[in-house]
A and B are shown apart, each in its own frame.
Chain A
């Protein structure tokens, strides 16, 4: 890898001064200063919406700042775009990968390079680079065959090919198992030892304390603290990030649950899109009065399983999915709702709510069986009353029930959707990534609401990539990997490492041994 660029010690690799970026109606970055030294592992810490992504987009030249100055190795940068950023030696691994599924690893990397190269030489170089940092990567495999962790390696190798002096990693661990996270950290530490600076963006405190030497904390677009995370506790870091003490959900007494509310037996479904995951002989018994978590790395069949449970895709056999023992696999979403199922989807706007409609209209989206519609007519008064109750009970911060859904923050919209589903008194609630991208306060409200629902005897299924969240609220946890579902384990009887191994696909139990067809 490149030497520290020949710069004298003491000259920062990257320096931001007074960066301000305004968007209509909001200030994303307010007078931000940031200094990254050569070979430094620097964390950029903040909640969702704190302005981290905007700031790194400015550094990488994707958007321009309204005010402020960027200095690279002591010299100011004038015109700035991603191509010139790459020429300077800035590499970035995005949270959402930018790979073509139908091309091989080598072809994908060739597309990202600014100068054309001989493909065979490139292939050799990819192999060398990957080996050098201990990353297993076959240059000839097609990207759609790769697991998420492997895809991330493609992105990293693509950056390393350009011998970067600064590598920006945007929330890199959200798609990795705990063991993969460790391997990634080894790579990043080696890079830093060789003089490459790393700007590591995350809201996961544990990772930052384990990896980084310095941290810059953002809150509502402004820098609130600079610190050495190794000297801090997660409580003190969280306080800098959130601005107040963070309350943890009181871990509820474990519920055993009794009687099966939702039973899935031997559910096998082919994906309807060529890059989707196949559901492979999934069986699951969700009991009344428990919260069952499904962990797993994204893209292992969770989306397909959620759609199958919600009835957006019908099961091949009616009795593959049963509610209260009665076959329901043949019912569509409305039919399942009529049986007492409620559902919190993965995407908030664009699936769980309609951005352009008011909160009152969005309340009706799934609550049309609850006396809000009579003889084909919308009972406007009842709907508005219902929407008002959601806003009141779940502390939804909004301009009123006539506010458009898109005017709400992610956390408030999620509270509204969770509230809408729970206030319909479901007997089974399926929640996908219930706190993804929401702030700490909203996450707390949502977790408490899920536990309260469980305590009323309803069955709750939570699908999440956030292991901390699952261990916090679940009674049992199962793992989804390659379209298969592991045997659920009691939270008290397992730990993050064991679940992490399962997420890597090492089920090893004889029950699944006969169905090793996946992947």
Chain B
């Protein structure tokens, strides 16, 4: 009887390595069409509303850059860590801490700092994310505590801290009791660089981070150590590479980048501190990192695609009357198919007879 079998490949397929995310995207689109059909929407019209309409205007295309910037910033840092088996799942919390620390400068130091306000805000934001990520790094290297758990749990602490600040000490006294800070003004506001859009500093920083990530991973000895530690920890021990140092580096880098993304979001698109400053950028960045195959250039493409799903979700709410949860479903499907397609890198599908057992 002909049937499908999985056979391990002698060597990981380079072609499959690059094709598997493409295949995952295609499968997700098919899945989305089925989903739209079940919800009673015409899949073609839904596709158009979801993926074409949002970027058919100049402003809309610019929004792609705005939405993808935080995703790419977070994902670059996470991807470098994932290469070294350092599983920072708490970029969302580091993002929030970056927003909080940068906002402190914006809210309380702006008159004193003047034109230096914005740079200091970004330094404070980066330090905020970095310090938040330093906690799991310390726990991991000193007590061997699993960084997946500690970084994830710290995310909830960060959310509660933000909530406390915007409802308590940092609430705008003239804000009619709304849980939000004063709007940033003066030197604390990021102006768009391209008029008619909101594209600006954030997008540029994301591109710098991409170049930096590429440089670290493909040129530096540190990047080499990261690869070795991730692939074969025993070989790294034998060679004398310090796993602790790499753990610190990866967590501090990803925390710092997430913090920069956080303050950029607060000072740019939002303009003030709110109880919620991220639609889950820090978590979604995990999908972006894997969809981009932990490769800086891949992450740019993946970041744009996921950003589009955010924009499409908003548009679909308005024009198709779909719930916002569609975005989550779409991203979930994408991650699911991505992990499934990963199998094809190491295995190939063989159609044919079952091999004859010894003596049939």
Give residues in A with beta carbon < 8 Å to B. 19, 24-26, 58, 61, 64-71, 76-80, 310-312, 332-337, 343, 345, 347, 350-357, 361, 364-366, 368, 373, 376-378, 404, 406-407
Contacts and interface: CB of A to CB of B under 8 A. Distances in A.
Given A354-B228, A376-B221, A378-B224, A333 B355 contact: no
A352 B239 CA distance: 8
A76 B232 contact: no
Given A354-B228, A357-B231, A345 B238 contact: yes
Contact of B238 (A76, A77, A352): A352
Interface string B219-236: 111101001100110110
Contacts of B356: 64-67
A355 B232 contact: yes
Contact of A351 (B8, B9, B221, B235): B235
Interface in B195-246: 219-222, 224, 227-228, 231-232, 234-235, 237-242
Interface of B: 7-12, 219-222, 224, 227-228, 231-232, 234-235, 237-242, 355-360
B10 A377 contact: no
Given A24-B7, A58-B358, A365-B228, A350 B240 contact: no
B355 to A, nearest CB: 5
Contacts of B360: 78
Contacts of A373: 221
Contact of A343 (B219, B221, B231, B238): B238
Nearest to B223: A378
Closest 8 CB pairs of A and B: A333-B240, A334-B240, A25-B10, A69-B359, A64-B357, A351-B234, A24-B10, A354-B232
Contacts of B235: 350-354, 365
9 contacts: A78-B357, A79-B357, A333-B237, A343-B238, A351-B237, A354-B227, A357-B231, A376-B220, A378-B220
B239 A70 contact: no
A354 B238 contact: no
Nearest to A78: B359
Given A333-B237, A351-B235, A365-B235, A70 B219 contact: no
A61 B242 CA distance: 44
Contact of A357 (B221, B227, B237, B240): B227
Given A25-B10, A350-B235, A376-B222, A70 B228 contact: no
A311 B240 contact: yes
Contact of B359 (A70, A334, A350): A70
Contacts of A77: 358-359
A126 B9 CA distance: 45
Contacts, number: 108
A356 B231 contact: yes
B245 to A, nearest CB: 11
**A69, A354, A357: residue with the most chain B Cβ atoms closer than 10 Å:** A354
A335 B240 CA distance: 8
Given A24-B10, A355-B232, A377-B221, A80 B358 contact: yes
Contacts of A343: 238
A337 B220 contact: no
A61 to B, nearest CB: 8
A407 B11 contact: yes
Contacts of B355: 64, 66
Contacts of A366: 238-240
Contacts of A69: 358-359
A332 B224 contact: no
A343 B7 CA distance: 37
A364 B234 contact: no
A70 to B, nearest CB: 5
Contacts of B240: 311, 332-337, 366
Contacts of A355: 231-232
A18 to B, nearest CB: 10
B219 A378 contact: yes
Question: Which of B11, B241, B359 has the most chain A CB atoms closer than 10 A to its own CB?
Answer: B359
Contacts of A347: 234
Contacts of B10: 24-26, 407
A70 B278 CA distance: 65
Given A333-B237, A333-B239, A351-B238, A378 B358 contact: no
Contacts of A361: 224, 227
Contacts of B234: 347, 350-351
Contacts of A350: 232, 234-235
A378 B217 CA distance: 11
Contacts of A406: 11
A365 B228 CA distance: 8
Contacts of B228: 354, 357, 365
Nearest to B241: A334
Contacts of B232: 350-351, 354-356
Contacts of A356: 12, 231-232
B226 to A, nearest CB: 12
Contacts of A353: 235
B238 A377 contact: no
Nearest to B350: A24
Contacts of A407: 10-11
Nearest to B12: A356
A76 B359 contact: yes
Contacts of A354: 227-228, 231-232, 235
A384 to B, nearest CB: 14
A366 B224 CA distance: 12
Contacts of A357: 227-228, 231
B221 A378 contact: yes
A355 B355 CA distance: 29
A357 B357 CA distance: 36
A19 B358 CA distance: 8
Contacts of B241: 334
Given A377-B219, A378-B221, A404-B11, A80 B357 contact: yes
A291 to B, nearest CB: 22
Contacts of B222: 376
Contacts of B220: 376-378
B80 to A, nearest CB: 15
Contacts of B9: 24
A336 B240 CA distance: 9
Contacts of A66: 355-356
B14 to A, nearest CB: 11
Interface centre among B221, B231, B356, B358 (most CB of A within 10 A): B358
A31 to B, nearest CB: 14
Contacts of A25: 10
A404 B346 CA distance: 14
A194 B241 CA distance: 57
B358 A310 contact: no
A198 B20 CA distance: 50
A143 to B, nearest CB: 25
Nearest to B234: A351
